[in-house]
Amino acid sequence: MTLRDIAQLIDHSLLHPTMTDDDILHGCAVAAKYEVKTVCVKPYSIPLVRQSLLKSRVLICSVVGFPHGNSITAVKVRETIEAMSAGAQEIDMVVNIGKVLGGQYDYVKEEIRAIGRACHRTGGVLKVIFENDFLQDGHIIELCKVCNDTEVDFVKTSTGYGFVKQSDGKYDYHGATEHHVKLMRAQCTQRIQIKAAGGIRTLDDLLKFKELGCARVGATATESIMDEAKRRGYQ
């Protein structure tokens, strides 16, 4: 692998709720410096990011229904259309988690299909975020079946913000796990690619998930990952 190969696995995440425009511009500079695949941003940031990346080959990925997937389908579809019109080339949508947990997969399928139509109409790439911390294996298997039956391009493990209340009252999350990625790879058809996100902070993390079959990872630690790759002799 080359440095560029590593960089092209990364969607550089700029999604933290406290990020200012200056923070986003700094993140775009990092993304452009290392020539990652995309920057993953909230929809309102797209015009700023598009201007910042004009001289770069980095693509723009926008989240939809982020982070908990609770908007009605029509709002998610509109958000997708607006994001694509503003300059996004990829969409990371969050499923309606409550509908998944309630076993209402027909609702989930029709929502994904509607967002997929809006995304693909202008040549976009659709990634479907499961938020596995909230789900059991059975839910993940059923979601993979739903995605097999719709025109999605990727399934994604997590938002990175799926904090679950623990028995001690504190909130925590696991994010991407080997078990979940293996399960998703086994259950999805080969045309669907896998994106791991949540807790991927080192080069070893990235390489591990690539070996498990991931075509993309979401990361905020892009700079340290790429610097570590340079120190190890990747060119």
Q: Give 9-68 pLDDT, tens digit per residue.
A: 999 999 999 999 999 999 999 999 999 999 999 999 999 999 999 999 999 999 999 999
Query: Which residues partner with 7 through β-bridges?
Result: none
Structure-block tokens of residue 119: 């995304």
Give all strands (DSSP E) within 73-188, no chain letters: 90-94, 125-129, 154-156, 164-165, 171-172
- pLDDT of amino acid 168: 84
Ranges of residues in the chain whose predicted pLDDT is under 70: none
Amino acid 170: pLDDT: 79
Which pLDDT does position 171 carry in this prediction?
78
**Which residues, at least 6 apart from 47, have a Cβ–Cβ distance to it below 8 Å?**
86, 87
The structural domain count of the chain equals 1
Q: How high is the pLDDT of residue 173?
A: 84
The CATH number that applies at residue 114 is 3.20.20.70
Tell me which residues are annotated as active site. Answer: 92, 156, 195
Residue 202's domain comprises 3-231
DSSP string, 134-170: G--HHHHHHHHHHHHTTT-SEEES--S---EE-TTS-
